[in-house]
Amino acid sequence: MTRFLNVIMYLVFFILISGCPEDKNPTGPQFTAISEDHSTIADPLERWQAYGLEDYVIEQQVSCFCIFGGREFQVYVAGNKISKIIEIESGSPIDSTLWGFYKTIDELFEIIESIEGDSVYNSQVEYDARFGFPSLISLDYNQHIADDEIAYITKNLLQLAR
C-alpha cells in the first residue's frame, strides 16, 4: 500500500510540474558587449550613427512637471522603436500609453535639431563621450512661465543581443 501511495505521489508531482510553463528567458534580456570604439569621431550624431545600434537599452530620467518626473527608467528599444519601459526602482513596467514621455536616441537627436534660436529661452546639451548620444538635453521654453522646463538625462547604454 505504501509503495502504491508513493507511485501516486510521484505521478501527481510530475503532472503538476509538466503543467508549469517553461521560462524561455530565465535570466532576462541578453546583452552584447560593444567592442567598437568610435569616440574619435568629433560630431556626436555621426559618432552615434557609426555604431549602427537599433536594439539597445538606456537608462533615462525625464525631469519635468509631469507624471513620473524625476524617476529613472530602463527604456528598451528594438528596431529603433521603444518596446518596453521598466521603472528601475520598482522593476515594474509602465503602460505603453505613457511611453510618449521617453525617447529613443534618434528621437533625442530630433529634439536637438528642432531647437532654433527663438524657440527656447535657454537650452543645454551634453553628449556621451564614447557613443555620442545626448546624455543631457535641458530646455526652458519661456523665462516667464513656471514649470515649462524639461530635461532628458540618458546614460548606461547596453546593446540588446538579437
The whole-number pLDDT of residue 2 equals 58
Q: Which of these, 135, 154, 148, 153, lies nearest to 64 by C-alpha position?
A: 148
The whole-number pLDDT of residue 131 equals 98
The whole-number pLDDT of residue 156 equals 96
Q: Is 92 exposed, middle or buried (0-12, 13-18, 19+ CB in 10 A)?
A: exposed
Reduced 3-state DSSP string for 85-151:
EEECCCCCECCHHHHHHCCCHHHHHHHHHHCCCCCCCEEEEEECCCCCCEEEEEEECCCCCCCCCEE
- Full-prediction pTM beyond 0.85? no
The whole-number pLDDT of residue 86 equals 96
Q: What are phi and psi of 87, to 5 degrees?
A: -70, 130
Spell out the per-residue pLDDT of the chain, length 162, in tens.
555 545 455 544 445 444 544 444 445 778 888 999 999 999 999 999 999 999 999 999 998 767 677 789 999 999 999 999 999 999 999 999 999 989 999 999 999 999 877 778 888 999 999 999 999 999 987 666 766 688 999 999 999 987
